[in-house]
Amino acid sequence: MVVSIFPPKRGGVPSLDTPFALQQDNWNDFSFQTLYHLYRRQAESGATPTLIGPVKILRRGQTKVDDIQIQQPFERLGDQFCSVGASLDYYQRLNDIPPAERDDILSVLRDVVAAPELQPQFRDEPGWETSLFRDNPNP
């Protein structure tokens, strides 16, 4: 599955050629740029993509001076990345889509809630508590 990338822009993404897309966000979360917005293509051709919600993506070794990390479409985030939904609504909306599709995107994004075995690999990263889990340091 290819995930498209869109630049920061108010109003979401216009249309999708891929099942999912991430829209970059310029939000500086305590000096870490980890925020993106996940969208899902609708079954109806030409329909406006559905916003799943905010997701934070951290790269191993990411520092406070690093810019937005994900710049190009991808099939799966590399081992140096992990993600976590930034709201409960994010996971609730994911639960509303077919299970195979949901499980696939969670795997593609290397979600640490869906795959808790990833947590020890990233827990000591400065952006883990500062950005990804600043409201809840113990996921």
46: left (phi over 0), alpha (psi -120 to 50) or beta: left
Q: Residue 30's pLDDT is what?
A: 77
Q: Is 56 in contact with 110 (CB distance < 8 Å)? A: no
Rounded Cα distance, 31 and 6, in Å: 21
Q: Residue 139's pLDDT is what?
A: 58
Q: Where are the alpha helices (DSSP H) in the chain?
A: 88-95, 99-108, 119-122, 126-127
Q: What is the pLDDT along the chain (139 residues), one digit of tens a residue?
A: 999 999 998 888 888 889 999 999 998 877 899 999 999 998 776 788 999 999 999 999 999 988 888 999 999 999 999 999 999 999 999 999 999 999 999 999 999 999 999 999 999 999 999 999 876 655 5
Q: Give Cα 8 to chain centroid, integer Å.
A: 14
Q: Is 75 in contact with 104 (CB distance < 8 Å)? A: no
User: What pTM was estimated for this model as a whole?
Assistant: 0.93
Q: Residue 31's pLDDT is what?
A: 86
